[in-house]
Every structure is written in C-alpha cells, then in structure tokens.
Amino acid sequence: INAEYMGFKDCDCAILCGAFPRKQGMERKDLLNRNAAIFKEQGLAIGAVAKKDIKVLVVGNPANTNAMLLQKFSGLPTDQVTAMTRLDHNRARNMLARKIGGGLTGQEIKNLIIWGNHSPTMYPDVRHATINGKPAREVVGDDSYLENDFITEVGQRGGTVIKTRGSSSATSAARGALDHVRDWFLGNPDEWVSMGVWSDGSRYGIPEGVIYSMPCNAVGGGKYVPVEGLTIDEFSKKKMDITTQELLEEREMALQALAYQSHL
C-alpha cells in the first residue's frame, strides 16, 4: 500500500487542499487538466482505505469539479463529499458589512447565499438575507450595487488576491474551511450556510451530477439539508443558469482529460 493510501487509512474527515495551485495567467481549462488526475487518485485512495462514513471537504480549485471527480472515483455516498464556498460566503458578508458601515462585522448578516461554482460565475444572492433581522436589500438600499458591482467583486475576489499576492488566499481560505467543517459536524441552528453539495436534480432547476453551492441547514453530526422552496426570480435564475453551464462544461472537460490521459 503506497504512502497516499496510508495517509487516508481509517480517516474520519479529510480536507483536501492539495490541488495544483492556480497561477496568474492560468486558464481554468489548464487547471482542470492538471487536477483531474490528482482527484481521481485521491478518490480511489479514499474509497479503498478511509472509513466508509468519512466526510470530505474539497478546498483545492476548481473545487466543485474536483469534488465531483473525487466522489465519482471514491464511490462514497454523494452527501459525504462537499466543496468549499464558505470562503465566498464569508467574503460576501464582509463586503456588505463594509458597504453599510456603522460598525457592522458581517456576523449580523444571515442567510446570504452563494449559488453555483467557486469561480467568477458564482452568484452571491442577498434576496433572502437579513441584517440584524431586517431584509438586507432594504438595509443596503442600493439594488444597482447588489446586482452589479457586489456580484462582480465577490466573484473576482480570488483573482484579485492572486494579482496582489501572486498566489491564492491562505488565511481566509483556512477560515472558510474551519467554518464549513465546524458547522457540518457541530451544526449551525442560527442560519443557513453556503455549501458546495451534490445536486440530485430536484432543486431550483439545477441538473443532477454537479457539485453546486446552495443554501444548506447544517444540522450537525456530518449532516446537512439543502434549503427547499425558496422563490427564485428571473434575475436570479439567469445568474444561476450561467454558473450551471460553466459547471457542466467543467465536468465534460475534466472527464475528457481523464479519458485522454488513460490512453497515453
């Protein structure tokens, strides 16, 4: 048994950060090709030697599609593999807090949603969010900002960090992973949170077979329940469709890359 398999032996929880890092100027396709083989191998290892009820959080980008591949090759139940969009969730809350001012820290903002992919196509949605119990859109009072600059700034924050640091974010990503795993295992009864989870095709027009960020109730014990029955207006649907299409394209590219590599 090799070292990679030994690392996952009897593992209860895995946080997978070990993706090939995105560098400045890299195309997303290049990143997909580099990481497809990595997450196939990690999936095979986890499926072979980890505990059968292991919970897996994929942090390494492209996180949603890496998580999809890992689930496919590990054979784990779909609800045991997630991708991190809590980093984006936290960033969006903090940006709103700075926009509003008045000493807000971001913790007062509840039920914000990150829909879709952990990429610039993600859709940060405040239509159901509250700030100190009041509707967020009313508190912000600037729908033009919320439907334009806010969405762009949240979606491109990762790229901005890379341009500034020359590499991806470190501390904020670690914080996002900590928040995700804590709520997944210990629960968060105060609000729903954004998690990249397997879509079974039954919610919000999201197709089956992609890992898609959506609002989830973290009930603890390694369980989550996607939030049902939210009203999706036309603006939101268009934004969600864009990020859905990107995830479908990523899935196809990643599977094609693996098929090509297997014939080398």
Q: Is the peptide bond before 62 cis (omega within 30 degrees of 0)?
A: yes
Active-site residue among 89, 118, 128, 180? Answer: 118
- d(Cα 90, Cα 172) in Å, to the nearest integer? 9
| Three-class DSSP labels, 165-226 | HCCCCCHHHHHHHHHHHHHHHHCCCCCCEEEEEECCCCCCCCCCCCEEEEEEEEEECCEEEE
- d(Cα 104, Cα 86) in Å, to the nearest integer? 19
Helix (H) or strand (E) holding 55: strand 55-58
- d(Cα 131, Cα 145) in Å, to the nearest integer? 17
128 carries an active-site annotation: no
Strands 109-110 and 13-16: unpaired
What is the token pair recorded at 212? 């898609």
Backbone angles phi, psi at 261, to 5 degrees: -60, -35
Sign of CA dihedral 75, 42, 168, 31: negative
Q: Which residues are known catalytic residues?
A: 118
